[in-house]
Amino acid sequence: MANSTPTAAEATPSAPGHRGVTMADVAKAAGVSRTAVSFVLSNRENASISEETKHRILEAVQALGYRPNAGARALASQRSDWYGIVTEIVTAPFAVDIIKGAQDQAWLSRRFLLIAPSDQADAVGPNQGMEDAAFEKLLEQRVEGLLYAATFHRAVHVPKSANEVPTVLINCFDADGKLPSIVPDERAGGRVAVERLLQAGHSRIGVINLDPNIPAAIGRLDGCREALAGAGLELDPDLVVPGYATADGGYEAACQILDKYPAGAGRPTALFCLNDRMAMGAYDAIKERGLAIPQDIAVIGFDNQELIAAYLRPKLTTVALPFEEMGALGVQTLASLTAGQPITAHQQMVDCPLLERYSV
Amino acid sequence: MANSTPTAAEATPSAPGHRGVTMADVAKAAGVSRTAVSFVLSNRENASISEETKHRILEAVQALGYRPNAGARALASQRSDWYGIVTEIVTAPFAVDIIKGAQDQAWLSRRFLLIAPSDQADAVGPNQGMEDAAFEKLLEQRVEGLLYAATFHRAVHVPKSANEVPTVLINCFDADGKLPSIVPDERAGGRVAVERLLQAGHSRIGVINLDPNIPAAIGRLDGCREALAGAGLELDPDLVVPGYATADGGYEAACQILDKYPAGAGRPTALFCLNDRMAMGAYDAIKERGLAIPQDIAVIGFDNQELIAAYLRPKLTTVALPFEEMGALGVQTLASLTAGQPITAHQQMVDCPLLERYSV
DNA sequence: CTTCTTTAGTAACGCGCGTTACTTCGAGCG
DNA sequence: CGCTCGAAGTAACGCGCGTTACTAAAGAAG
């Protein structure tokens, strides 16, 4: 009576449509118990299975093409080996780099990254619907940790469901200061950019700024000031022109600077553009005036948007945002959190390396 | 004796680290059986649960913050609601658009997209390790269908494990002709591009070609010829210059064309660049010669790489590759396959829309 | 020979849930 | 009053696997 199961067990393997080979099948083929198979496949230390049996089991695994069922494993072992990442995959040409970094790092530690889309630019807005749903869906998959990646460096509010598992923010930080975050070191980036210009002999440097209130602008400009101070110089406020963060914006800002100062008479010999798109526009303004890059005017950008920086003529020297590194570090941080280490609310900053090309 | 479980059940909810609220918890809170909860949550048609009880259960769900366990559900129901997509997320600035399209479409049908990276450019090579592993991992998650997306339109060999579940190729096609695939209609794209130029009054059109052997070049050039033929013209082979698929390549090719023919004396009045990067280089060549776009020379591109096309000055008129649409169509196709419809080996072509900007 | 230890393995439970078969109860009907 | 039948709900099995507790056999020690 207790063994009404055997008959059922015999029926199951050939169930229509269900092609999965299970451990039980392997066990039967190898003439052992399912437990033995499980022991062998999970490389249990103190399992006493003879070499011979082990071999037999592994052969059966091969022969049958057994593939473990990740879901069942997760259910039984109470751990999923999955992390989730929420990001706006659309609007962010580089969100993909964060994903790439995270994905690779996850892959290294045999973990899987579930990617959920979040279709809106700002998480602070009222219609967090999509984003909440994304978190919700990921939690339903029982991810062990969450990553939230923003498209540009900023403060965000994270849905409270994020508190149920360890969560790490990438390229943004928690407005409430609770969650650990990973951001680019904008200030250091701004510093190396301007130091590079100084080193090339430029002392009068024009700056095409972004919206001065965003973290990127604040940090990069600070770094710029630091670099100048290091050389005993000061930032001339007249040389800092705000621009829309587009090629057109950069073009106009560059025109302003170039036309304000005649050649020689105080015209800057170098332009620090706070992003590459604006640098792209600046190129046009410079070329239009018959000036050569970098001979007459050096240009340095920020962001390293490959599609722009590597294809401008001359190729643009710029400071790279370390998206891949941030993604990887995010996963690492998550791993240590899920391993039980305490949450450090502190922000981790990642270096922005200078990419030398030909515009300086 | 049979009920040694209750004690265990009481211990479990407060088990350390395990925060999951289960159906059993909800059932207990609502004073019903777990089955009733299941019935209500899955909206069973012919379940006889009174409105009142249903209400009570839903309230308990809310109160406890119950969240279904997707893994367990998949295990029990033998269906996962997951699709997998394998793609090189790295080298492809637009693979992300395919993912986006697929992701959104999947989301619509309440499905989840598992993304696995494949770190190599060519699937035909010897070291398919990564790619095979990606497929393998996805199958371990018991995905119900697979998508494989290539970074550029080409023939691929797909690991045979892909045969275990329905598989659809995106932006590529099966070298063995077995799997259904979704590709851009390069020919129609080439046609509309050139038709646009013809319509603008150009009859002498230079073409900056890609590697003439890839499907993109073949199709686009064919389309070009069709358009010309439609206007009673023929493609002048002297005006077709191959270029490396980069800005530099486009620059050199454009120089060749422009310098070969003096103004007026047979110089083409329009350039059809088979990709946007080359168009970017062509812009430089044209501007260098003091010519204006589009007044002196019109330029039309292909690919619609936003970062380039939308930021060039003037903004580039180009033909878009329908990545998002292909991704979405991929998921739709997969859905019909998993729903049991027969595999149509035929290729589905997606239109490449013309994007009017200011370079024509 | 008995007892203890080690080796080699196995039976059985439970993870959270979908699902089928069954029970219970009250209303309606003859 | 006995019977049927639908409404409302429940017990119990199994999905594939990790894991714990147990057993059976083969030496080793006394």
- Say how many CA atoms lie within 13 Å of B358 toward its Cβ: 8
pLDDT band per the 50, 70, 90 thresholds, residue A27: very high
pLDDT tens figures, B181-214:
999 999 999 999 999 999 999 999 999 999 999 9
Contacting residues of B for A107, CB less than 8 Å apart: 117
| A229 close contact with B: CB closer than 8 A | no
Q: Which residue of A has its CA nearest to B98?
A: A90
Q: Are residues A198 and A294 in the same domain?
A: yes
A75 touches strand D (CB under 7 A): yes
Nucleotide nearest to B33 (CA to C1'): D10
Surface of A (27-86) touching B: CB under 8 A: 67-72, 74-75, 78, 80
| B124 close contact with A: CB closer than 8 A | no
Query: From residue A18, how far is each of A115, B144, B171 by CA, in Å?
Result: 28, 12, 30
| A112 close contact with B: CB closer than 8 A | yes
CB contact under 8 A, A139 and B281: no
CB neighbourhood size of A65 (10 A): 11
Q: Tell me A297's DSSP state.
A: -
Q: Which residue has the tokens 């939690």?
A: A139
Q: Are residues B244 and B346 in the same domain?
A: no
| A117 close contact with B: CB closer than 8 A | yes
Q: Is the pLDDT of residue B265 over 90?
A: no
> When comparing pLDDT for B90 and A87, which is higher?
A87
Q: Is the pLDDT of residue B107 over 90?
A: no
User: Does any domain span residue B87?
Assistant: yes
Q: In what order do the strands lie in the sheet with A181-184?
A: A347-350, A181-184, A167-174, A145-156, A82-87, A112-117, B112-117, B82-87, B145-156, B167-174, B181-184, B347-350
Q: Which of B163, B137, B70 is closest to A116 using CA atoms?
A: B70
> When comparing pLDDT for B66 and B45, which is higher?
B66
Q: Are residues B36 and B108 in the same domain?
A: no
User: Does any domain span residue B358?
Assistant: no
DSSP for A177-226, written as a single string: S-S-EEEE-HHHHHHHHHHHHHHTT--SEEEEE--TTSHHHHHHHHHHHH
Take residue A104 and report the two structure tokens written for it. 């690779």
Q: Are residues A232 and A307 in the same domain?
A: yes
Q: Is the pLDDT of residue A120 over 80?
A: no
Last residue of a domain, one of A68, A91, A122: A68
Q: How far is CA A94 from the centre of its chain?
A: 8
CB contact under 8 A, B93 and A306: yes
Surface of A (188-227) touching B: CB under 8 A: none
Q: Are residues A133 and A231 in the same domain?
A: no
Q: What is the pLDDT of residue B129?
A: 66
> When comparing pLDDT for B123 and A4, which is higher?
B123
Q: How far is A102 from chain B (nearest CA, A)?
A: 11
Q: What is the pLDDT of residue B71?
A: 94
Q: Are residues B151 and B206 in the same domain?
A: no
User: Does any domain span residue A173?
Assistant: yes
Task: State the CATH number of the domain containing residue A40.
Answer: 1.10.260.40
Last residue of a domain, one of B23, B39, B68: B68
User: Does any domain span residue A158?
Assistant: yes
Q: How far is B141 from chain A (nearest CA, A)?
A: 5
pLDDT tens figures, A136-180:
989 999 999 999 999 899 999 888 888 889 999 999 999 988 899
pLDDT tens figures, A239-253:
999 999 999 999 999
Q: Are residues A190 and A307 in the same domain?
A: yes
Nearest to B93 among A89, A93, A280 (CB): A93
Nearest to B117 among A18, A90, A103 (CB): A103
Q: What is the pLDDT of residue B163?
A: 85
Nearest to B287 among A137, A277, A287 (CB): A287
Question: Which residue range forms the structural domain that includes residue B339?
Answer: 81-184+324-352
Q: What is the mean pLDDT of residues B98-108?
A: 89
Q: What is the pLDDT of residue A311?
A: 84
Last residue of a domain, one of B19, B35, B68: B68
pLDDT tens figures, A245-281:
999 999 999 999 999 998 877 899 999 999 999 999 9
**Which residue has the least CA–C1' distance to nucleotide D10?**
B33
Pairwise CA distance, residues B170 & B85, whole Å: 10
Whether a cis peptide bond, with omega within 30° of 0, leads into B322 is: no
Q: How far is the CA of B40 from the C1' of D1 (A)?
A: 38
Pairwise CA distance, residues A180 & A165, whole Å: 13
Q: Is the pLDDT of residue B123 over 70?
A: no
Q: What is the pLDDT of residue B345?
A: 62
Q: Are residues A342 and A306 in the same domain?
A: no
A1 touches strand D (CB under 7 A): no
Q: How far is B219 from chain A (nearest CA, A)?
A: 25
Q: Are residues A209 and A294 in the same domain?
A: yes
Task: State the CATH number of the domain containing residue A102.
Answer: 3.40.50.2300
Question: Using an 8 Å Cβ cutoff, are B181 and B173 in contact?
Answer: yes
Q: Which of A215, A218, A225, A217 is closest to A195 using CA atoms?
A: A225
Q: What is the mean pLDDT of residues B261-280?
A: 93
Q: What is the pLDDT of residue A242?
A: 93
Contacting residues of B for A61, CB less than 8 Å apart: none
Q: Is the pLDDT of residue B1 over 50?
A: no
Nucleotide nearest to A27 (CA to C1'): C10
As a dihedral over the C-alpha atoms of residue B134, residue B140, residue B146, residue B149, rounded to 10 degrees, the angle is -10
User: Does any domain span residue B76?
Assistant: no
Q: Is the pLDDT of residue A356 over 80?
A: yes
Q: How far is the CA of A39 from the C1' of D22 (A)?
A: 16
pLDDT tens figures, B285-324:
999 999 999 999 999 999 998 878 988 989 999 999 999 9
- The two beta strands, B205-209 and B270-273, are parallel
pLDDT band per the 50, 70, 90 thresholds, residue A118: confident
Q: Identify protein residues whose C-beta is within 7 angstroms of any atom in strand C.
A: A 32-36, 39, 47-50, 52-53, 72, 75-76, 78; B 4-5, 8-9, 12, 18, 20, 22-24, 34-35, 38-39, 41-42, 68-69, 72-73, 75-77
As a dihedral over the C-alpha atoms of residue A253, residue A254, residue A259, residue A262, rounded to 10 degrees, the angle is 140
| % residues pLDDT > 70 (chain B) | 90
Q: How many domains does chain A have?
A: 3
Question: Using an 8 Å Cβ cutoff, are A113 and A89 in contact?
Answer: no
CB contact under 8 A, B96 and A100: no
Q: How far is the CA of A59 from the C1' of D13 (A)?
A: 32
| % residues pLDDT > 70 (chain A) | 90
Pairwise CA distance, residues B9 & B4, whole Å: 9
User: Does any domain span residue B211?
Assistant: yes
Q: Are residues A89 and A158 in the same domain?
A: yes
> When comparing pLDDT for B72 and B109, which is higher?
B72
Contacting residues of A for B89, CB less than 8 Å apart: 96, 99-100, 103
Q: What is the pLDDT of residue A133?
A: 85
Pairwise CA distance, residues B207 & B253, whole Å: 9
User: Does any domain span residue A222?
Assistant: yes
CB contact under 8 A, A104 and B93: no
Q: Is the pLDDT of residue A126 over 60?
A: no
| A115 close contact with B: CB closer than 8 A | yes
Q: How far is the CA of B39 from the C1' of C25 (A)?
A: 20
**Which residue has the least CA–C1' distance to nucleotide D12?**
B35
- Phi-psi domain of B171 (left: phi exceeds 0; alpha: psi -120 through 50; beta: other): left
Q: Are residues A299 and A330 in the same domain?
A: no
Contacting residues of A for B72, CB less than 8 Å apart: 71, 75
User: Does any domain span residue A242?
Assistant: yes
| % residues pLDDT > 90 (chain B) | 70
Q: What is the average pLDDT score of chain B?
A: 88
- Say how many CA atoms lie within 13 Å of A195 toward its Cβ: 16
Contacting residues of B for A90, CB less than 8 Å apart: 100
DSSP for B33-80, written as a single string: -HHHHHHHHTT-TT----HHHHHHHHHHHHHHT----HHHHHHHHT--
Nucleotide nearest to A6 (CA to C1'): D14
Q: In what order do the strands lie in the sheet with A205-209?
A: A240-242, A205-209, A270-273, A298-303, A317-320, A354-355
Q: What is the pLDDT of residue A238?
A: 94
Q: What is the pLDDT of residue A265?
A: 79
Q: Are residues A85 and A157 in the same domain?
A: yes
Q: Is the pLDDT of residue A12 over 60?
A: no
Q: How many CB pairs under 8 A join A and B?
A: 121
Nucleotides of D under 7 A from a protein CB: 7-21
DSSP for B199-251, written as a single string: HTT--SEEEEE--TTSHHHHHHHHHHHHHHHHTT----GGGEEE--SSHHHHH
pLDDT tens figures, A73-110:
999 999 998 999 998 765 566 778 898 899 889 988 88
Q: Is the pLDDT of residue B38 over 90?
A: yes
Pairwise CA distance, residues B109 & A131, whole Å: 17
Nucleotides of C under 7 A from a protein CB: 7-21
Q: Which residue of A has its CA nearest to B79?
A: A18
pLDDT tens figures, B212-228:
999 999 999 999 999 99
Surface of A (237-256) touching B: CB under 8 A: 246-248, 251
Nucleotide nearest to B7 (CA to C1'): C14
CB contact under 8 A, A311 and B308: yes
**Which residue has the least CA–C1' distance to nucleotide D13?**
A5
| B305 close contact with A: CB closer than 8 A | yes
